[in-house]
Amino acid sequence: MKVLFLLIVTLFTTINVVGQDNEYKLVVYNVENLFDADGVAVFSDYQPFDKDGEPLYTPAHLLTKIHKTSRLMARYNNGAGPDIIMFVEIEADYTPLPGNEQRDPLQFLEEYSDVSIEYMLGDGINDEIKDLPAELLLLKGMHDAGLTGYDVAVAYDRAEDGRPRHVQKNVLFSRLPILHEKTRSWPIEDARPILETWVDVDGYELALFVNHWKSRASDAEVEKIRLQNAEVLKNRLDTIRAENPQVDFILGGDFNSDYNQSYRYQYMETTAVNDVLRSTGDERYVKAGGTDAVYNLWYEHPIDKRGSDVFRGYWGTLMQIMISPGLYDFYGIQYVDNSFDVGRFPGKNVYENSLTPRRWHAFEGGGGYSDHLPISMRFTVTDRDEANERITLQNPGYVDDEKWEPIEIQYSMPDPSSVLRPSDYQNVDIRTLEFFDKLFLVEAAITEDYTVLVNGEEYELWSPTFNTRSRFGSIRGQDEPLTFIGRLGKFRGNWQFVIESEDYITPEI
């Protein structure tokens, strides 16, 4: 197996781990495209200007994204941030330094120690700052917010001209010392490479594999590409297990597959996560050791609560964490039983009426967080030296796929105080950041074009749970007022109200 060129950047600083009693927090988070400020972007939504020459993705957007990510990570470890973060969807650097030379994070932080990230992406913006990779700007923003002491590992798959082969990269932030001589990247055809990083946990080695597999979980043809991801990863795991059967490792990232992929999509003959990688919910089986299977931590969660992303009105589990049998013994690193969690923070990164992700938007200075929720786990270091002894499980996970059903998003009736009434916005320009993404009680007739007029301006209608044209076909153009609760937003440049539930039509509120 050919190993790709690997960019490793190291923060040579005193590692100040904030985990208490030798217990550490690991978070996996898809940031939904954290792009840098150089203006060189493959995705059209992250170009500096739109087709009309108007600002599209600016340093102000990047600053908002950094602030949001920093605040979200500060939700862990009492404000200090996780001990390890597996970041997914950070933009690969398309404006590298000459000769692909890389900046040292410590030197970078020292160089900009007398200025804030707000200044750097505001009045102090210059070509040098624009050329900085996104992960360093995120590191600076987190450092300014008090989330300090991180070492950084990044893997690039670069072409001969130095440009990255993939738009996004996987990045690891760690307060635990990274063993850079053992860190590498594994190539995948038509998909992002897998980042392998080893860290020192109180004298014991832990292998971390950061993944971002090919998208479209339900597509059987795309699953063939994900099979390559799984085969490359499985071959590497087999190698390190042959060297040390008790090896401790954690697999995390956006696998663009569900934890029960083979059950959910039974038309797929072979699935990457379940059939090749051998991810299972049988915790006792993995705990016993002597197997190449890995335990998927989604089975720690109630079956009707499993979800970190949404698609067409249903929850998905694309973000995953899987652990090795070695994390169940009494030698070195040990999984903290039942510590898996999903980072739902109402009023912050999820909507209070649905607990669905408040995804990123670029309206004005930007807002929201990501279309994925962070997931987390905890691990510790045992004070015993008994590799043949296993921990006692409380409520061990088991394969409950036969009980699983697609989990439809449930929309509760919002708190009346969170809904803007017509008197709140009459004759007011609502197409501003103050009103964007807010819930409105709208009283208006449905036009022939399935739109509504509010303050003399036209808004399209859309719903994730029903077809608006079918629902309103009999009353369009009738000039009969209809009352509904809608969330203000934009789609493809057009303003709209999103009616999230049919219960939001003629609501009693």
What lies within 8 Å, CB to CB, of 337 at 6+ separation is 391, 393, 394
Say what the pLDDT of residue 105 is: 84
Mean pLDDT, residues 182-188 taken together: 89
Q: Is 410 domain-assigned?
A: no
Of the candidates 368, 403, 438, which is a domain's last residue? 403
Pairing mode, strands 341-342 and 457-462: unpaired
Residues 338 and 427 in one domain: no
Of the candidates 403, 426, 454, which is a domain's last residue? 403
Say whether pLDDT at 5 is over 60: no
Say what the pLDDT of residue 156 is: 73
Say what the pLDDT of residue 178 is: 95
Say what the pLDDT of residue 21 is: 66
Q: Is 3 domain-assigned?
A: no
Residues 269 and 223 in one domain: yes
Percent with pLDDT over 90 in the chain: 83
Position of tokens 């390890």?
84
Residues 446 and 367 in one domain: no
Q: Is 17 domain-assigned?
A: no
Q: If DSSP codes are grouped into helix, strand and coil, which group holds residue 130?
A: helix
Confidence of residue 18 (pLDDT cuts 50, 70, 90): very low
pLDDT tens string 336-362: 999 999 999 998 999 999 999 999 999
Say what the pLDDT of residue 93 is: 85
Q: Is 352 domain-assigned?
A: yes
Say what the pLDDT of residue 353 is: 96
Say what the pLDDT of residue 7 is: 44
Say what the pLDDT of residue 15 is: 39
Confidence of residue 102 (pLDDT cuts 50, 70, 90): confident
Query: Which of 61-75, 92-106, 453-467, 473-487 is least confident?
Result: 92-106
H or E, element range at 84: strand 84-91
Could you say which DSSP state residue 297 is in?
G
Say what the pLDDT of residue 99 is: 65
Say whether pLDDT at 19 is over 50: no
Q: Which of 147, 144, 192 is nearest to 173 (CA)?
A: 147
Question: CB of 334 within 8 A of CB of 390?
Answer: no
pLDDT tens string 359-389: 999 999 999 999 999 999 999 999 899 999 9
Q: Which of 358, 315, 309 is nearest to 487 (CA)?
A: 358
Say whether pLDDT at 16 is over 60: no
CATH number at residue 144: 3.60.10.10
Residues 32 and 110 in one domain: yes
Pairing mode, strands 457-462 and 494-498: parallel
Residues 393 and 427 in one domain: no
Q: Is 185 domain-assigned?
A: yes
Give the whole-angstrom CA distance, residue 39 versus residue 55.
Answer: 11
Say whether pLDDT at 9 is over 70: no
Q: If DSSP codes are grouped into helix, strand and coil, which group holds residue 151?
A: strand
Confidence of residue 3 (pLDDT cuts 50, 70, 90): very low
Q: Is 8 domain-assigned?
A: no
Q: If DSSP codes are grouped into helix, strand and coil, which group holds residue 304?
A: helix
Residues 214 and 333 in one domain: yes
Mean pLDDT, residues 315-323 taken together: 98
- Rounded to 5 degrees, φ, ψ at 167 are -65, -40
Q: Hey, which residues does 85 pair with through a beta bridge? A: 27, 173
Of the candidates 374, 403, 432, which is a domain's last residue? 403
Mean pLDDT, residues 200-205 taken together: 97
Q: Hey, which residues does 196 pair with through a beta bridge? A: 184, 209
Residues 217 and 129 in one domain: yes
Say what the pLDDT of residue 188 is: 85
Give the whole-angstrom CA distance, residue 31 versus residue 372.
Answer: 7
Say what the pLDDT of residue 104 is: 85
Global confidence as pTM? 0.94
Say whether pLDDT at 333 is over 60: yes
pLDDT tens string 143-175: 999 999 999 998 777 777 777 788 899 999 999
Residues 398 and 435 in one domain: no
Residues 378 and 487 in one domain: no
- Per the structure, the complete domain to which residue 431 belongs is given by 416-504
Q: Which of 134, 93, 142 is nearest to 116 (CA)?
A: 142
Say what the pLDDT of residue 290 is: 94
Domains held by the chain: number: 2
H or E, element range at 471: helix 468-472
Say whether pLDDT at 222 is over 60: yes
Say what the pLDDT of residue 12 is: 35
Say whether pLDDT at 241 is over 60: yes
Q: Is 18 domain-assigned?
A: no
Say whether pLDDT at 13 is over 60: no
Residues 251 and 157 in one domain: yes
Residues 371 and 491 in one domain: no
Q: Is 370 domain-assigned?
A: yes
Mean pLDDT of the chain: 92
Residues 323 and 359 in one domain: yes
